[in-house]
Chains A and B, each alone.
Chain A
Amino acid sequence: MSCLDELTLLTFADGELDPAGAAEVEHHLGTCAACRTSLAALRAEDALLAEAVRRIQADAVAPARPAAQDGLLTLLLGSAAALLSSALLGEAAARAPSWLRSLGTGTAVSLAFDGLFSLEDGGTAMITYSLGIATAAAATLLALLVATRALRWGSASRSPSLLALLVLLAGVAGVPAPARAFDARHGEVVTLGPEETVEGRVVLTGQRVTLAGKVHGDAVAAGRHVVIRGTVSGDLYVAGEDVELLGAVEGNVHAVGGTLRLESRVGRSAWLAGRQVTLTPEATVAGDLAGGAEQLRIEGAVGRDADVGGRELYVSGSVGRHLAAWTEGGLVDRTARIGGDLHGRVPRDGALRIADGAAITGARDVTVHPEMAAEHHEGRAGWNLFRGFFGLLAALLVAVVAHRFAPGAVPAPPSDAAEVGRWMGIGFILLVTVPAACLFVALTLFGIPLALITFAAYLAACYLASVAVAVLLGRRILRQGAGAGRVLGATAVGWLVLFVVGLVPVLGAAVRFLALLIGLGALYATVRASRRGVASAGSLLRSDP
């Protein structure tokens, strides 16, 4: 008789074979060592599965009833901890020495400008930028982790609500710290009158914003119409549809506007971006100028270098050192004075005209790049490379930290397409409602710091969402389960794929947007599921025949 197949052995082992069959099997077993071995292995497996299932069952979920409260509590605790950590970070930042502070929020904004408009600086900028994001994400993770642990401790000692209250109180007490740091004004018409003097940072937001007084510190102004008439001793950050800068700024100017007119004296450098950007003849920028606009006019004086890009460019003022210009059509007029070289990058010959009277001390070097006309982002290739590299490092760091310290926070792969759809829906709702809620909360004075912190946490969550999607995608591609130690590989693969796809002009943006939605939804689902206690389980291997 030939050897027994596994089905027969299995049925025999389970005692489910009919008596005749069982007798036959027993007879064969008496003569065949191989089948005896197989039978022993099957019996061992049987015992093992029974035992393992018992253990899984012992770990299984508690009933769902208290889950809703648990989730809410965690959410509260998590936000409170995030709030507290942000408050502490804000306070620490305010007391840090200036060189350290220069790595903080102020520079983050200028770094964004750097990245967009001063491409050579992209490298250093992106290092700090990515590190900043990674730090923020790590802080948020830590806060969530602390909250989760605290919750467990709390339920053990049967006083979770008391604990929540304490953490909340601590968080709320921490809130005024960043609030102290600046004078914020908000409304339809916001004016800082000529007679007013503000010590420290001032933030003005509204439909019509006028800054006519003196600010000893930084000034931030955002609104539909923004006019800066006064003097600012620190840096100035402005955003608006219609921006006029008339006063004096001793620090840097960062300005974004539909129409942007700079008539000020600027003590240091200026980063300007907009549809129409004009440096009037009265304007002087002591440092560098970095500008990008559809129409850019430099009629005033720039002390050092000017790096500018504009579809239409007009230069009639003076540049202390080099002028680097990317343009599709420009004129350097006869009144222009350039202390160094003129580097021009144009899509076709003759696109940058230099009038006869123009004084250029250094070289005139205008190169033709036909691809510019087709691809405006050509100059960003180097920046993209840096962004890719350091973004990847940051993502890996976040993934490893999350996997090591909060494995439950790494989302489980979706069980089916419907789940991905659900995640997208949740992600969309979160994406839309959180900023809207922040906006509503920010309408009250007390709510402003709360809204800012929530928004910061929201940005961090968006970043974490992209990492989460990278991990999920990587695992999908590598066909991995959620095993330990492989998270690095999965993250790297997923992140790189997303990054490369993200570089594709239109499709990339769509994919990134969808990835953000999915990631946010997945994070939300994970947080919810982990609170419910349903062990998040991988269904990647699910392969329906």
Chain B
Amino acid sequence: MDAGDKGDEPELVRSAQAGDPRAFEVLYARHARRVAGLCRRLLGPCPEVEEAVNEVFLRMSRSLPALEAGRPVAPWLLATASHHCLNLLRRRGLERAHLAEPPPEGECTAAAAEPAPLARVEGREQVEQLERALDALADRHRVVLVLRYQRELSYQQIAGELGVTKQNAAVLLHRAKRALRGAMVAAGGPALEDEP
């Protein structure tokens, strides 16, 4: 995954395409961690994570002939992983109707009562706390945060992944952040910054 060992990736892909199982193994070893991380984040703590990772690499092995050897594999893998996980989540009841929350109307006046933005997440324990808070969020909120911060997608891309409008994606992201702050406060989380 490091920059150092990415240089040989085109060759690895070519070898894998030629049917060399060891090249595929190397690709797996290199990217499985990141794919697993994304699946784990998107799906939350559940047994399906393992299967999801296997499914992603199974798809990769099927799609090998179509892969362009010159291009890095990671984006393809991550996109496939998030598609697959979102499908799993939809099967779990993540409805498009839920995702397309109506834009807030006159909601901004109540914003004063909302938890303030997180001010700091330092130290292992707080990171773990954040991790738990993420897992505890409703699927639609967790997913949008993961897409934004782990996959670093734009609003438009998030909207595309989730099949909603860009405006919906923005609202969803906003709500997800508020839910996350609330969860962190409930968990007695890090000090919140009221006014700097």
* A residues lining the B interface (CB < 8 Å): 3-8, 10-11, 14, 16, 37, 40-42, 44-45, 48-53, 55-57, 59-65, 67, 412, 415, 419, 479-484, 529, 532, 534-545
B28-50 contact mask (Cβ, 8 Å, vs A): 1 or 0: 11001111111011001110011
Which residues of A lie under 8 Å from residue B119 when comparing CB positions?
41, 44-45, 48
Partner of B136, one of A57, A419, A542: A542
* B40 and A50 within 8 A (CB): no
B170: nearest residue on chain A (CB-CB)? Answer: A11
**B4-12, B13-21, B186-194: which lies at the interface:** B186-194
Which residues of B lie under 8 Å from residue A544 when comparing CB positions?
138
Knowing A67-B50, A536-B45, the reply to whether A481 touches B108 (Cβ < 8 A) is: no
A470 CB to nearest B CB, Å: 20
4 A-B pairs besides A484-B125, A540-B136 with CB distance below 8 A are A45-B119, A57-B150, A63-B32, A479-B186
Does B85 count as interface, using CB distance less than 8 angstroms?
Answer: no
Partner of A63, one of B33, B104, B127: B33
B50 CB to nearest A CB, Å: 4
* A6 and B28 within 8 A (CB): no
Partner of A542, one of B116, B129, B138: B138
* B186 and A481 within 8 A (CB): yes
Cα–Cα distance between A63 and B149 once the two chains are bound (Å)? 21
A43: nearest residue on chain B (CB-CB)? Answer: B117
* A60 and B45 within 8 A (CB): no
B181 CB to nearest A CB, Å: 8
B141: nearest residue on chain A (CB-CB)? Answer: A545
Which residues of B lie under 8 Å from residue A538 when comparing CB positions?
132, 135-136
B30 CB to nearest A CB, Å: 10
* B155 and A64 within 8 A (CB): no
Cα–Cα distance between A58 and B145 once the two chains are bound (Å)? 17
Does B54 count as interface, using CB distance less than 8 angstroms?
Answer: yes
| Interface set, chain B 96-142, CB cutoff 8 A to A | 103-104, 107-108, 111, 114, 116-121, 125, 127-138
Partner of A532, one of B50, B154, B183: B50
Partner of B36, one of A6, A16, A61, A415: A61
Cα–Cα distance between A543 and B49 once the two chains are bound (Å)? 22
Which residues of B lie under 8 Å from residue A64 when comparing CB positions?
36, 49-50, 53-54
- The 10 lowest CB-CB distance pairs between A and B, nearest first, are A5-B108, A60-B37, A63-B32, A541-B136, A45-B117, A481-B187, A64-B50, A537-B135, A53-B149, A41-B117
Partner of A45, one of B32, B118, B183: B118
Does B62 count as interface, using CB distance less than 8 angstroms?
Answer: no
Cα–Cα distance between A529 and B50 once the two chains are bound (Å)? 11
Partner of B170, one of A10, A42, A537: A10
* B111 and A5 within 8 A (CB): yes
* B121 and A48 within 8 A (CB): yes
Which residues of B lie under 8 Å from residue A10 when comparing CB positions?
170, 173-174, 177
| Central interface residue in A8, A61, A65, by most chain B CB within 10 Å | A61
Partner of B45, one of A7, A14, A44, A539: A539
Knowing A7-B171, A16-B155, A537-B45, the reply to whether A62 touches B33 (Cβ < 8 A) is: yes
Does B195 count as interface, using CB distance less than 8 angstroms?
Answer: yes
Does B75 count as interface, using CB distance less than 8 angstroms?
Answer: no
Which residues of B lie under 8 Å from residue A52 when comparing CB positions?
121, 127, 130
Q: Pick 24 A–B contacts, CB within 8 A, sort by A.
A: A5-B107, A6-B111, A7-B107, A11-B155, A11-B170, A14-B155, A41-B119, A45-B177, A48-B120, A49-B149, A50-B152, A52-B130, A53-B145, A53-B149, A56-B37, A57-B34, A63-B29, A63-B36, A64-B36, A64-B50, A64-B53, A419-B46, A483-B187, A541-B132
Cα–Cα distance between A14 and B130 once the two chains are bound (Å)? 21
Cα–Cα distance between A42 and B45 once the two chains are bound (Å)? 28
* B128 and A7 within 8 A (CB): no
B100 CB to nearest A CB, Å: 15
Does B196 count as interface, using CB distance less than 8 angstroms?
Answer: yes
